[in-house]
Structures are given as C-alpha cells and as structure tokens.
Structure 1
Amino acid sequence: MALGHYSDSTRINYLKELRFLFQYYPDIRPSEITYEMTVNYLVYLVKTMGCSRVKCKMAAQSFAFFFKHALNKPYSTPAVLFPAHEHKLPAVLSQEEMRSVLNSIVNNKHRMLLSLMYSTGIRLMEIARIKITDIESNQMRIKITSGKGKKDRYVLLSPLLLEELRFYFIEYRPEIYLFNGAGKGKRYAARTIQHIMQTALAKAGLSNKNYSIHSIRHSFATHLLDHSADLQAIQQLMGHNSINQTVQYLHLSTKRLQSIVNPYDVIMQKSTNEKC
C-alpha cells in the first residue's frame, strides 16, 4: 500500500475493513475468501447493521484492493448494494457568521488555525501538516505539500494574516510544524482542530446550524466567487482535479443570485410604465 502512495488514513481504513471481514469468517483463511463471501458480508452491513453508503463503499474498496493486490484476482465493486448517492449542496457560513466564529475564539493559536483555514481554503489534514518552511512570505503564498491525491499546490497568503502569524510565532515559538500539538515539533491532531471549530460555533450561537470544519473550506470558495474571482483560479486554489468540482459553488453564491434580475419584475415593471 505504501508503494501505491495511499494516504495514512486510507491504509488504516482498508486494514480495519479487512480485519472486520476476516472476523466475520473466522473459520476461513483470508486467501480462501471468495467474491460471493464479500458480497454476503456487504449485504449484512447494509441490511442487518444499517451501515451508511460511505461505510459500505469503503469496505468494498478495501476488498477490491485485497483481491487485486494480495490474491491477484479480479474484483468488481457491487455498486447495486449501495443506495443512490444523494447530492446535497455543502453548508456555507455567511461572511458575518465567519467573522463571528473567529471573533469568538480567545486562544490565539486556535484563532490562527481557523483564520488560516478560511484565508486559504485548505483541507483539515493540510493545515495540520503545514510546516514553518512552507510559508513563503516573500512570494505571499503557502506551499501545500502532498495534498489530496499527493499533489502539491500554492495557496494565498493574506497580508493581514501574515502580520498576525508573526505575532503568533513570537508567542508560541512553534517547531517544524506551524501549529504544534501535544509537544514541540509534533503536529496538531485533526480531531482537536474539529473540536476547536465546534466550540467556536457554539460560542458564536451557530451550533444549531449544519456547519463543520469543512464548511470553512466551502465558505472560502463561495466568498471568493461572491467577490468575482475566476472559477479556474478557485479550482487551482482548492486543488480540485476537475472544474466540475468547483462549479457547485455557483449554486452557493448568494451575491451572484441576488444580482440576477427576475424576468417577472421586468415584464411587470414594463406593464406599469406603459400604464403611466
């Protein structure tokens, strides 16, 4: 799996799902497990355990890896077992809500974490991995190394945030990683960052909204679009493989929608003018 450049989380999840499969068939050697057995196990997950589509898909993908790379056998993911994927637009904070979240945070390190996420649109694991050497202040950019899909890219460095980061650096003196976790030179845990976000949402009175740490990323892209940023530029900053991933933010840009003239208003206004 290391040779295939799989992420740490993918390796952990695949091994976990395979262990569950082997435990389900305790009297069968892993090398003797058949395709039909994996399908029966997936049916068990769906029908008996009521597992989600994401869980079942992860299990099927781990089985496909095991069959192809360990058993040297073909494996076709039985997609018919999974309910149709329901496409929902992501939750996006308004600019006022985002400001309230950031202003609710007293701890400077926590505030810098979420501020940097909002000003760059980077993912949760990407901010945890940012190293001090990734900050290129002369070029006003940050290098994201081995992001999703093991790809490198550059993101924006806000001039205002750069000044705040300098004060943060003087106060906390981080080592190696920009944000140290339990000890010097160690990175922040993803779960801790998620907890920081949930606490800030509660303080800002937004805990009843369907917001998460990933909502910051969606908000960044949507607010860029609100301020007339180019779609291709947003795609590059977000690290999207396809422009189709970026197009969804057109549906979330309230400023863009509010600028559209309703055809009903046009014909009724014309009718009113004719009467006058």
Structure 2
Amino acid sequence: MIGIKFSPDRLIQNLIKGLPNPKWSQHYNMAYIENTKANLTIIFNTFKGVVWINYNRFLTNRPLNTNNESIDVEWYRKRKPIPQFRCCPEEYLLKLELKKYANSTVRTYVSFFEMFINHYKHKELNAINESDIRAFLQKLIHRNVSNSYLNQAINSIKFYYEVVLGMPNRFYEIERPRKESKLPKVISKEEIIAIIENTNNIKHRCIVKLLYSSGLRRSELLNLKISDVDSKRMLVRVKDGKGNKDRYTLLSKSTLVDLRLYYKEWKPQDYLFEGRKASKYTAESVLNIVKKSAAKAGIRNTVTPHVLRHSFATHLLESGTDLRQIQVLLGHGSSKTTEIYTHVATNTFKNIKNPLD
C-alpha cells in the first residue's frame, strides 16, 4: 500500500477523498491506497502545486558502487580558490562521495553544477527557482549544445535539489530534450580484420581484439584483471560493468593465443592492460590505438572502441544469434536497447526485393 502521512489540513483531506478508494489505518494513523504505478502518478498530479511529496520509499535506490576505484572528490576540496568563482558546496561533494559515484560522474556533475551556480553567483542557492533553471538551460540551447550535454547539466542540478537536499520531485516540470534515435555505427568484418592487422604491437592487437570479440565497453576493458580471463571456459568476466552489474562474455580462441603471447612479453602485474609503473591504462590510450589502427587500415569513417562493440553485436545478429543472448553478452538491462541492432543488421534487408530490380 501507499501510506499518506500528513499534518492535519482540510484541503489535503479533501484531496485524499478524491483518490482511488482511499482508506484510513488506525494502527499507522495515516491514509492509504493501493500501491500501483498509476496511483503514484495520480497522487503526484493531485497534490502538485499544493504540497511537497517525498517519493523516496517508492523509488528504486540504485546500488552503491562497490568496486575498489578510489573516489576522487578530495581534489575538488583542495583546489586553490579562484577569485569571483563559486565552488561546489561541501554537501554536494560529500553526497557524491558517500554514494560512491564513479570518478567520471563526479567530474561531470561538479563541472556542470559549478557552471550553473556561477551563472547565478549573486543569488543564494535556495533562492534559485524553476524559472531560473529554465533560463540557464535556454542559454545552453542557444549555444547549440548536444542533447547529451543538456541532459548532463539537468542531472547535475537535479542531483543537488533532489538528492543532496532530499526534495525528490521539485523539478519534475523541467523539460528534457527529446530523446534522439540514432542508429549505431557499424563496420564490416573485413574492416575489423584490417584494423587488427594494422596495430603496432601485440598489446594493441589484444586490446582491439578484446573490444570487438567480447563486445566490451572501453571502461570494462580497462578494469579487466588477469584473473578475469577464463581460458578453460573461454569466457571473460566483466566486473562492475555499467549499472554496477557483473556478467560473462565470449573469449575468442585467436584472442586467447595472442593474450598468452602478450602476457609473456609484457608481464602485467594486476590489471590485464597496464601503463607505466604498473598503473591503470588510460581511456585516451585505448581510443588512440583504435583510431590510429583504423586510419592505417585506410578506413575513412571514424572508428572508436564503441563502434567495435556495436559491430560485435551486429555481426552476431547477422550470423543468427538470438537477440536475448546478445543482450546478455552486452550487459543490456532492457531488450529494447539491444533491438536497435536489428535496424542495421544486413539480414534484415536481404530478403526484401528492391523495386528497381
């Protein structure tokens, strides 16, 4: 049930009477209705503009990130103060730290939120309202920023008011840009082979092969430990993937052969791919490896690690692999995310006769 606890108020009591089949609990001393998604929406629409509604108990809490990556928040605290610059408030940094957000998320949220509060540097944070936020977002739109950029700005602002201050629905009315429906970029198997053949060394070769043959995200590749390669079962274990989910994906035979040669030559200590002094390999290095190998192979289109992942999924679909199996290998939470590859797989079009022919 949805329990509705409130201070005595005739207006609220009358509004509750208009809800679907409301009842009163003497034991809990509160009104209640059936817990359904539709009823949650009805409650919000009924009380919108009248009272604040705390939905926290009915929203799924995201699991804390439990990996061993150190959260780099202290850096923001120790920065040298810049004259006339408004820094991110301590409670914002503390909440990011306590919720163990990934460093990339911390950097994004702090950067965008500081941009926002410096736009209103002469205004107290609690005095900023929805109209001010819309004006700030409008300014970003006039700069022709991408939808992704705009959404990141919105998320950083919502994080302060909804998560830090605990007002989960204050900015429900802030409009988000319409979601873009873009098809994934895919290259052919022949182009994949050409990229692999144009890598500089065995380490670069293994990186490109794993990105493609296991369908890994760049961050997942960087977090791989030596023990995550299961040569007996021919699987790669992905720990703390997107959404803090673990999964297994495929390990190809040719990649395993190259990985053994790489291990003998480079002798990594902890992570499968390491930089200088056994440090974690950087995302920029992986991107450069893929781009330079693709350029040497004569591929005109821009190739990124994610293009290799898209190609892995598409080529599996074209070879007859079940969509549900591809979803598991990619670590997608929803089958709808995986279904996008049906729009670029060539077998979707092979049985259609062109009217000109």
TM-score calculated relative to the size of structure 1: 0.88
Q: Which is worse superposed, 34-43 or 54-63?
A: 34-43
Residue number in structure 2 paired with 1:274: none
Amino acid at match of 2:120: Y
Which of 216, 229, 232 is residue 138 of structure 1 equivalent to?
A: 232
Residue number in structure 2 paired with 1:273: none
Rate the CA distance shift 1:77–1:112 in 2: closer, same or farther, 3 A. farther
Equivalent residues in 2 for 1:1-276, closer than 5 Å: 1-47=96-142, 49-73=143-167, 74-76=170-172, 78-79=174-175, 82=177, 84-184=178-278, 186-206=279-299, 208-258=300-350, 260=351, 262=353
Q: Which has the higher contact order (CA 8 A, sep 6+)?
A: 1
Q: Is the 8 A contact 1:117 1:216 kept in 2?
A: yes
Q: Is the 8 A contact 1:60 1:77 kept in 2?
A: no
The number of residue pairs the alignment matches comes to 260
Instruction: Give the Cα–Cα distance (whole angstroms) in 1 for the partners of residues 338 and 166 of structure 2.
Output: 37
Instruction: Give the Cα–Cα distance (whole angstroms) in 1 for the partners of residues 175 and 325 of structure 2.
Output: 34
- Unaligned 5+ segments in structure 2 are 1-95
SS at match of 2:227: helix
Instruction: Give the Cα–Cα distance (whole angstroms) in 1 for the partners of residues 127 and 271 of structure 2.
Output: 45
Identity %: 33
Structure 1 runs (4+) deviating above 4 angstroms are none
TM-score calculated relative to the size of structure 2: 0.69
Instruction: Give the Cα–Cα distance (whole angstroms) in 1 for the partners of residues 157 and 148 of structure 2.
Output: 14
The structure with the largest alpha-carbon Rg is 2
How far is 1:263 from its partner? 8.6
Instruction: Give the Cα–Cα distance (whole angstroms) in 2 for the partners of residues 50 and 148 of structure 1.
Output: 29
Instruction: Give the Cα–Cα distance (whole angstroms) in 1 for the partners of residues 256 and 338 of structure 2.
Output: 27
Rate the CA distance shift 1:50–1:256 in 2: closer, same or farther, 3 A. closer
Deviation per CA, 1:153-208: give whole Å up to 9, x if none. 00111122112101100000011100002321x221111111111111110111x3
- Unaligned 5+ segments in structure 1 are 269-276
Instruction: Give the Cα–Cα distance (whole angstroms) in 1 for the partners of residues 259 and 173 of structure 2.
Output: 47
Amino acid at match of 2:141: V
Larger helix proportion, structure 1 or 2?
Answer: 1
How far is 1:143 from its partner? 0.9
Instruction: Give the Cα–Cα distance (whole angstroms) in 1 for the partners of residues 208 and 173 of structure 2.
Output: 38
Amino acid at match of 1:78: I
Q: Which is worse superposed, 232-241 or 243-252?
A: 243-252
